[in-house]
């Protein structure tokens, strides 16, 4: 393994995979207000993911999800209880 290569700690919207990012964004927009996490809560969750060692190239390696989508639901939790 090349130790000079670091995994990307980017969220999906930052990876350049615009087709998937647009699909996830559209899915989030279809959620009802009661389903959605509040905007401040959502931003805080994504900041936690951005700093997490398990985020790789837009995907959470602990649950296989796109954090932007998982964090959008008020009821969802991080699999490691970081949020």
Residues contributing to the site for ligand SF4 (CB under 6 A) = 48-49, 52, 54-55, 60, 62, 67, 78-80, 82
- The residue (of 30 and 81) whose beta carbon lies closer to ligand SF4 is 81
For tokens 């009661």, the residue is: 34
Shortest separation between residue 82's beta carbon and ligand SF4, angstroms: 4
- The residue (of 24 and 78) whose beta carbon lies closer to ligand SF4 is 78
């Amino acid at each position: 393994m090349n130790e000079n290569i670091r995994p990307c700690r980017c969220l999906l919207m930052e990876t350049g995979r615009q087709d998937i990012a647009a699909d996830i964004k559209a899915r989030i927009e279809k959620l009802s207000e009661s389903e959605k996490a509040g905007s401040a809560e959502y931003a805080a969750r994504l900041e936690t993911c951005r700093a997490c060692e398990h985020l790789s190239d837009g995907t959470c390696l602990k649950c296989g999800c796109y954090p932007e989508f998982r964090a959008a639901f008020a009821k969802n939790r991080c699999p490691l209880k970081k949020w």
